[in-house]
Amino acid sequence: MEETPPKYCKFCFGTEEDNDMSFVHPCRCRGSIHWVHNQCLHMWFSKANAVQQVMCIQCQTRYQKQLTLKSWRQWTIPRLGIDFFGVLEISTDLWITYRTILGFVGMMNGTKGIFRELILCTMWKCFVASGRRFCFYGNLGLRLASSIFRISIDDYDERREITARLPTDMHWEQISRSSVLNSQ
């Protein structure tokens, strides 16, 4: 049988002998970047940009985060960590959204021109409803949630094993790609 290579963290290079921090394998990456300390991964999330907090940049696997309720004695005040530009972006998003809704209502009432409002809708779709912004708000929500929830990352192999055990006649891939769910 093949000998399992020693685990070491891709961020701090610590091994199992150095300390008893728990390891996780959150994505498809193999080899020298297979393992990472749970703690180091969370440290990385606190510094990484919105997209990097959602998926591994190397292998594009989306992290599966789980929330477990903390005991109420461990609840804390949320630290949002938003800087000036964050506030500016959120304000801009809110303003464009508000303006788009207002314009849409105006268009339906026949008080506003269709073409200008359609341009605004497209702008909203590109800037506010973009993947990057969804990541941003998703992470913001997670940070809010972290005051009362413990956030853990699923192990990629364990998750795959569970998915593999699901009934095969369900065809999850096809369902998720079906036109019914993706019609918008």
| Residues of the shown chain interacting with Zn ion in the complex, contacts defined by CB under 5 A | 9, 11-12, 14, 27, 29, 37, 40, 56, 58-59
CB of 67 to Zn ion, least distance (A): 22
CB of 37 to Zn ion, least distance (A): 3
CB of 21 to Zn ion, least distance (A): 6
Amino acid at 40: C
Choose between 9 and 128: whose C-beta lies nearer to Zn ion.
9
CB of 163 to Zn ion, least distance (A): 17
How far is residue 56's CA from residue 48's CA, in Å, rounded to a whole number?
A: 11
Choose between 161 and 178: whose C-beta lies nearer to Zn ion.
161
Choose between 57 and 114: whose C-beta lies nearer to Zn ion.
57
CB of 77 to Zn ion, least distance (A): 27
Choose between 21 and 126: whose C-beta lies nearer to Zn ion.
21
Choose between 56 and 145: whose C-beta lies nearer to Zn ion.
56
